[in-house]
């Protein structure tokens, strides 16, 4: 009886535009077929979020945008434009 498992792809873009280039990326595989880890690729799996959507990934989270808190206008911290995408794949067993 096939069951469905979730794969998550997290793409960090260079701007909020979903066509903009990918700066960083992560993959989390709920099917257990792969074990992605840090430093396992030098090139992003897709050029943009839209390119991933064309390959069947569904966007499930957009980053919100907030003005900087006073005093932190020039502070850099976490990557701001984080998009989370999913694919559902069948597993057997």
Partner 1 sequence: MVDRKHLLNSKQMASFVSDGYLRFDELVPMELNEAALAEMQKNPPRARAGTPFREVWPPPSAIGNLFRLPEVQGITCSLVGPDPLYDHHAVHTVGPGHRMGQMWHADAIIDLRMHFDIQYYYFAHDTPREMGGTMILPGSHFRRISETDIARYQNFLGQIPIVCKAGTLVVVHHGIWHCAQPNLTDQRRYMFKLRLNPTVRQLRLWNTDDLRDAAVAAAFGRNHGWYGNEVRLEIVNRIKLWRFLTGDEAFDTGYWLGRLENLPERVLQPA
Footprint on this chain of partner 1 (rule: CB under 8 A): 10, 12-15, 20-27, 35-42, 44, 74-81
Judged by beta carbon, residue 3 or residue 15, the one nearer partner 1 is: 15
Residue closer to partner 1 by CB (options 65, 76) is 76
Helix, strand, coil % over all residues of the chain, rounded to 5: 5, 35, 60
Pick the closer one to partner 1 by CB: 14 or 31. Answer: 14
DSSP letter at 39 equals T
User: What number of other Cβ atoms are within 10 A of residue 7's Cβ?
Assistant: 18
Compute the least distance from the CB of residue 49 to partner 1, in Å.
14
């Amino acid at each position: 009886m096939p069951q469905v498992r979730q794969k998550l792809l997290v793409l960090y873009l260079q701007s909020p535009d979903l066509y903009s280039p990918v700066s960083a990326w992560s993959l989390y595989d709920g099917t257990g077929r792969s074990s992605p880890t840090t430093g396992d690729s030098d090139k992003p799996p897709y050029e943009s979020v839209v390119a991933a959507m064309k390959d069947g990934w569904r966007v499930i989270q957009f980053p919100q945008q907030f003005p900087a808190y006073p005093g932190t206008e020039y502070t850099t911290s976490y990557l701001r434009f984080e998009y989370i995408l999913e694919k559902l794949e069948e597993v057997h067993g």
